[in-house]
């Protein structure tokens, strides 16, 4: 049996992040805004994974984080992929991710022998807060991004890495923690 999954750091959305999500949701643009209760940083998207591979995947996560202590990182600024003029994804940035990039790179390399394709792009840690469904209303999104640029969305303690199961439904995805690895 397989399930859709990813490896992540869950984020506790503060008031300002919740306000940003609400403003994006209410602006009338063709956006799918992420529910702040399930916001996270994806370290590696795995796609469909066989249940029999879970132990091996968790072993890679443990090995990738075995010498990393819990740490704090700042959530700051707002931007878009691929650019503010061609918005596909609206994100909140992590200007100094600490060891997060190292863990993500180790996970990527460690999963390669298990058949997971390595990332072609450099890991850029961020929180996806919305995805564009079409270009409609993106001028309003650009205005919101201008108002929120350089905003400090608070600090986040990173103390665990999780293997998550994603179940897509009519109201959006539901995420379940399959395993978690605590940092030192």
Angstrom distance (rounded) from CA 184 to CA 182: 7
Active site residue 77: no
Three-state SS for 28?
coil
DSSP string, 124-147: --EEEEEEESSSTTHHHHHHHHHH
The contacts of residue 172 (CB under 8 Å, 6+ apart) are: 32, 35
Q: Which of 40, 74, 101, 131 is catalytic?
A: 40
CB 41 within 8 A of CB 126: yes
> Is position 40 annotated as part of the catalytic site?
yes
Beta bridge partners of 83: 86
The two most distant CA atoms of the chain are separated, in Å, by: 47
- Name the active-site residue from 44, 126, 162, 164: 126
Contacting residues for 139 by C-beta, under 8 A, at least 6 apart: none
Six-digit token string for 176:
């379940």
Residues labelled catalytic: 40, 126
């Amino acid at each position: 049996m397989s399930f859709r999954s990813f490896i992540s750091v869950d984020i506790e959305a503060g008031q300002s992040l919740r306000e940003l999500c609400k403003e994006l949701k209410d602006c009338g643009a063709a956006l799918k805004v992420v529910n702040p209760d399930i916001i996270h940083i994806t370290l590696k998207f795995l796609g469909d994974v066989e249940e029999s591979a879970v132990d091996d995947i968790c072993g890679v996560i443990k090995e990738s984080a075995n010498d990393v202590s819990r740490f704090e990182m700042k959530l700051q600024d707002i931007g878009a992929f691929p650019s503010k003029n061609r918005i596909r994804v609206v994100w909140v940035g992590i200007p100094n991710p600490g060891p997060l990039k190292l863990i993500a790179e180790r996970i990527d390399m460690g999963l390669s022998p298990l058949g997971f394709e390595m990332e072609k792009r450099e890991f850029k840690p961020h929180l996806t807060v919305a995805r564009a469904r079409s270009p409609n209303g993106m001028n309003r999104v650009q205005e919101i991004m201008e108002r929120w640029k350089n905003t400090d969305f608070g600090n986040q303690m990173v103390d665990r890495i999780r293997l998550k199961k994603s179940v897509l439904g009519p109201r959006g995805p539901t995420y379940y923690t399959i395993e978690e690895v605590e940092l030192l």
